[in-house]
Amino acid sequence: MKTQVAIVGAGPAGMLLSEILHHHGIDSIVVERQTRQYVQSRIRAGVLEQTTVDMLRQYGLADRMEREGHAHDGMKIVWAGRSSFFIDVRQHVGKRFVAYGQTSIQEDLFAAADRRQARLVFGAANVALHGIDTDRPRVSFEADGQTTTIECDYIAGCDGFHGVSRKAIPATVLKEFEKVYPFGWLGILTPRPPLPDIVYANHPRGFALASMRSPTMSRYYIQVPLDTRIEDWSDERFWEELKARYPADLAAAIVEGPSIEKSIAPLRSYVAEPMSHGRLFLAGDAAHIVPPTGAKGLNLAFSDVHYLSRALASRYETGRSDLLERYSDTALRRVWHSVRTSWYLTNLLHRFPSTTAFDQRTQEYELEFLKSSHSAQVALAEQYAGLPLEQT
Ligand code: FAD
Ligand code: DHB
């Protein structure tokens, strides 16, 4: 098989890249380890930054999001039973968010790929990258008992945190930055109306988050210890614990329902530098992970894809390779900004098992300051909204 760009991974990063390259007349093949059904059914992100929304609009992928997504202007923070305050991102920085599930984006991207009869390979085993530091890179995989090799000009590693692409970069070149947090999030999805706003809670029992997917679908999370077993968490126990972490008025407004998904996600910050080596370019979770506090992961995957597709288009349309050479540095500037914001919000809103009385007081006074200071709220709004995309 031959193509211009071989894309490893059919998650949101890989599928959006393939779509944008197609708009520029650039051919690609996407190779995915899992089945299409599996990829489509994963329940993950749900909050889209303005830059992500604008990208989906620009490439004709936003029709369903316009109908079903729920625009909102910021987030509420509440702690230890006090009255909540609202970080008004729309008022402070003129940007909005849209609540629209990653599951729906994934469906929309697959539907667009079907319309253009894209070449997608699912269920590919033993995917391997070859010759990334030559000008004839290849991707091989096994499917239906046969080994196939794709010859290409470039490889895009969009295969998530556990993929193979990042590991193809020599250890002598790759620098890793990592922070693992001593807790996870237990999340549920329920077909009931959400609270009107996204509400983050810091409580002595631990962090909680009320979020949404649509006017009839809510998503809630609670901080749990890392050794938590999902079997120990009946729906009843979850609702009781969630409500205990919100003040009485908000707890009373939460509409309980059956869980249609329940899962535990550990929290981690991770960045791999550089995000490219030879003819291989990493995008999305393949290169970086943020803890979900702040809802940045999917949005970063899309900003990487913006920079990478722009660089590849420039290469094919004008022969220029400077944007490809600068891809890693450009993408990393936005990545580190969101890594820092997600780390800050994680520290601000969670209860750490090893916290000292001193740490606890400074966290409380940070929240007090945020609640009372207009300029602190503007600064947080700017960070939470995400940096604008660089134009040059
Ligand atoms: P992935 O979605 O991981 O896709 C990678 C693909 O590559 C997968 O389909 C995988 O099967 C495939 N693959 C892996 N290995 C191989 C291989 N060897 N060969 C071929 N294919 C392979 N982000 C937000 O922006 N907002 C949120 O609100 C938010 N909430 C979240 C809540 C939770 C509970 C979690 C877990 C994450 C959340 N995120 C959020 C993060 C977001 O889901 C991810 O950042 C996003 O999925 C990254 O997309 P990706 O395409 O880079 O990687
Ligand atoms: C979700 C929403 C958030 O605001 C966040 O920080 C993490 C996850 C969600 O809806 O899944």
pLDDT at 135: 95
**Sequence-separated (6 or more) residues with CB below 8 Å from residue 381:** 74, 87, 88, 89, 91, 92, 93
Pair 144, 121: CB distance under 8 Å = no
Instruction: Report the nearest atom of ligand 1 relative to the CA of 299.
Output: 25
Please say if the pLDDT value at position 82 is more than 80: no
Pair 12, 109: CB distance under 8 Å = yes
pLDDT at 392: 73
Report pLDDT digits (tens) over 103-131. Answer: 999 999 999 999 999 999 999 999 999 99
162 Cα: distance to centroid of ligand 2 (angstroms): 22
SS3 for 49?
A: coil
Ligand closest to 36 (CA) is 1
Please say if the pLDDT value at position 87 is more than 70: yes
Beta bridge partners of 269: 179
Q: Where are the alpha helices (DSSP H) in 24-178?
A: 36-41, 50-58, 63-68, 89-93, 102-115
pLDDT at 252: 97
Mutate to test the pocket of ligand 2, among 75, 97, 221, 380 (most ligand atoms within 8 A of CB): 221
Rounded to an integer, the average pLDDT of 162-167 is 98
Other residues' Cβ atoms within 10 Å of the Cβ of residue 147: 11
**Which of the following is catalytic: 137, 194, 247, 292?**
292
- Rounded Cα gap, residues 83 and 13, in angstroms: 39
- E strands along the chain, which residues? 5-8, 28-31, 47-48, 70-72, 74-79, 85-88, 97-99, 119-121, 125-130, 138-143, 146-151, 154-157, 175-190, 198-202, 208-214, 217-224, 261-273, 276-277, 280-282, 288-289
**Sequence-separated (6 or more) residues with CB below 8 Å from residue 61:** 16, 19, 105, 108, 109, 112
Helix (H) or strand (E) holding 322: helix 322-349
Pair 26, 3: CB distance under 8 Å = no
Closest residue to atom 46 of ligand 1, CA basis: 298
Report pLDDT digits (tens) over 341-357. Answer: 999 999 999 999 999 99
Give me the amino acid identity at 346: T
Please say if the pLDDT value at position 302 is more than 70: yes
- Whose tokens are 């209860």? That residue is 351
- Whose tokens are 């134009």? That residue is 391
CB of 10 shorter than 6 A to ligand 1: yes
- Rounded Cα gap, residues 142 and 154, in angstroms: 20
Please report the sign of the dihedral spanned by the C-alpha atoms of residue 56, residue 61, residue 67, residue 68. Answer: negative
pLDDT cut 90: percent of the chain above it: 94
219 Cα: distance to centroid of ligand 2 (angstroms): 8
Q: In this structure, what token pair is assigned to residue 368?
A: 């007090």
Ligand closest to 13 (CA) is 1
How many helices (H) and strands (E) the chain has is answered by 12, 20
Beta bridge partners of 86: 76
**Shortest CA distance to 28 belongs to which of 111, 139, 126?**
139
**Sequence-separated (6 or more) residues with CB below 8 Å from residue 114:** none
Report pLDDT digits (tens) over 10-29. Answer: 999 999 999 999 999 999 99
Catalytic site includes residue 38: no
Total-model pTM: 0.96
Catalytic site includes residue 200: yes
| CATH number of this structure's domain 5-44+101-178+269-350 | 3.50.50.60
- Rounded Cα gap, residues 165 and 280, in angstroms: 8
- Rounded Cα gap, residues 228 and 353, in angstroms: 14
304 pLDDT band, cuts 50/70/90, is: very high
Q: In this structure, what token pair is assigned to residue 295?
A: 């809802």
Q: In this structure, what token pair is assigned to residue 137?
A: 């890179």
Please say if the pLDDT value at position 81 is more than 70: no
CA-to-CA dists, residue 390 to 54, 155, 299, 354, angstroms = 14, 23, 15, 40
Report pLDDT digits (tens) over 250-301. Answer: 999 999 999 999 999 999 999 999 999 999 999 999 999 999 999 999 999 9
- Rounded Cα gap, residues 249 and 76, in angstroms: 14
**Shortest CA distance to 315 belongs to which of 10, 5, 14?**
5
Helix (H) or strand (E) holding 244: helix 235-244
Give me the amino acid identity at 215: P
Report pLDDT digits (tens) over 350-390. Answer: 999 999 999 999 999 999 999 999 999 999 999 999 889 99
Catalytic site includes residue 72: yes
**Shortest CA distance to 60 belongs to which of 103, 112, 102?**
112
